[in-house]
Structures are given as C-alpha cells and as structure tokens.
Amino acid sequence: MTTFDTIYQNIIKKIMKEGIEELNERTGHKTRSLPGITFQIDLEKEGFPILTLRKNPIKSPIAEQVWFIQGEKNTDFLRKYTKMWDEFLEEDGTLTSAYGYRWRHYFERDQLGKLIELLQKDPSSRHGVVITWDPKDDGYGGTPKKNVPCPYTFTVNIIGGRLNLHNIIRSNDMMLGCPFDVFGFSLLMYILAQKLNVRPGMYTHTISNAHIYDTHYEGAKELISRTNTHENIFPKLPENIFNRAEKKDEQLVDEIYQSFSSYFKPNEPIIGLDIIK
C-alpha cells in the first residue's frame, strides 16, 4: 500500500468506529462524522497521494486544476474531460463559485498570480494565502447557489527550499470528495513548486467536518478490508505546466494524465459509491 492509502484507510476506520451518526437535513441522509481531521504527506519523500485501494478517476481532478489556473467560470474547457460539475451549472453554462475564477478575478485581485509574484520576490514570506469563500455572499442563507466552496482557503509557503501547501476544507465527503481534493490540490502544489523552481514539500489537509454517508457505509467497510502491494508514485510531470494551463493548451491534461497512468494500478472499483446531492 502507498503511504496515502495507509493514511486514508486509517481515517476511514476511525470515522466508521468513532464517528457520530446524525441526520443531515439538507441531504436527508445519515452520516458518521468527526471534526478537525488533519493529515500530512511529504510529496518529495512519500510520493504523490493517489488512492489505489479502489479505482477512481484521476483525469477529472487533473482537468479541474488546469481549469482553475485558467481562472474561468465558463466550463467549456472542463466539460471536455469531466461532467462532474454539470448539476451545479447555471443556464449559461457557467459555475458561479468556480474556484479558479475566485482565485484569479474575484475580490478585485489575482490571488494566484500575486502569490507567485510574492514568493518569487520573497521566498520566506508567510503571507501566501488564497481565499475561495466569499464572506459577504456564501452561506448563512445568502444568495442561493447550486454550490458553495468546500476547500475554502489554502496557504503556501517555502521552507528549506521546499514548497508546502495547507488546504483547509469546511466539509469533506470522505469516500468521494476527499481523495479527489487531495489529488487535485497536491497537483496544484507540484505545479506551483515547478513554477517557482523549488522542490515539492509537505501537503497538509485539514477538514472541519469529515463524514461518511449512510449509503457509503458498506463501501467504507470494503475499503477498510482491502490491501495491496502498490508502491508510492513519483510522477515525472510535463514542464511549464502553469504557463501552458493559462494558455489553455489542449494537450496538457492528457500529458499530465500519462505521467501518472503508467504507475497507477489500483484495486477494483467499489460498488455503491454514488454521489450524494
């Protein structure tokens, strides 16, 4: 098993054993939940965090991060690779809370661009914060939206010549959303390290509410029982990813995918892992 497989499997065990079961009124489903779950993985030493205990899509989070870097809320590029956001789209095909749009065009500044400029000028800076959540409009019964951000902020810093990213999640569906988010934001961390010409360091994932839906209980039990001999994955990513993503390079998503696919040999899928709306 990979390092991430072990970390993830232990968290699922903990939630299934110690999680508080309550009814979630919005979805109408029961969940087992725990607050304040945090884990770390050293991408340089322990490999890229891809879940191999079950088959799961990796091209989707690759396409998503490339799209985020573009700063778009129009989903034409993204929908060439995944339809996972379709249920959240507005009639004009846009996603009002698109993470990349908020990173690059919202709050009257290009947060991602400014982050890169900051760390190029001052690698020791501790001001590298990117916000996705809009406090004047998200949640609290504000403007109705089909989706509000779950990963709502992340910080980036460079320590000892290595770039670290701390991702903070208000709510994580542990059987579906968590592996997807970990893969995607770890990829973003790699891309930023590449852009800044430093080594990738520590990825930290903090979840305010880590939960498993009742419809996923059996799938969680199956995952807990699994094992494999998969080795840690150290992909050789294409060069110049950030700039190519900004230019909407049509070949980039497939090139990044190919850098993982030859190493990624997961277990069989787990039946019953359906998305809770």
Q: Which residues neighbour 265 within 8 Å (Cβ) at sequence distance 6 or greater?
A: 52, 230
34 to 12, 151, 204, 218, 274: CA distances (angstroms): 10, 17, 18, 18, 21
Catalytic residue among 112, 150, 212, 270: 150
Residue 57 to residue 51: CA distance in whole angstroms: 10
Known catalytic residue: 150? yes
129: amino acid identity, one letter: V
**Contact predicate 212/19, CB 8 Å:** yes
First vs last Cα of the chain: how many Å apart?
31
Is residue 211 a contact partner of residue 173, using CB atoms and an 8 Å limit?
A: yes
Q: Could you please report the per-residue DSSP string of 78-139?
A: GGGT--TTGGG--TTSB-TT-HHHHHHTGGGS-HHHHHHHHHHH-TT-S--EEE---TTTSS
Are the C-beta atoms of 238 and 197 separated by less than 8 Å? no
List the beta bridge partners of residue 145: none
Catalytic positions: 150
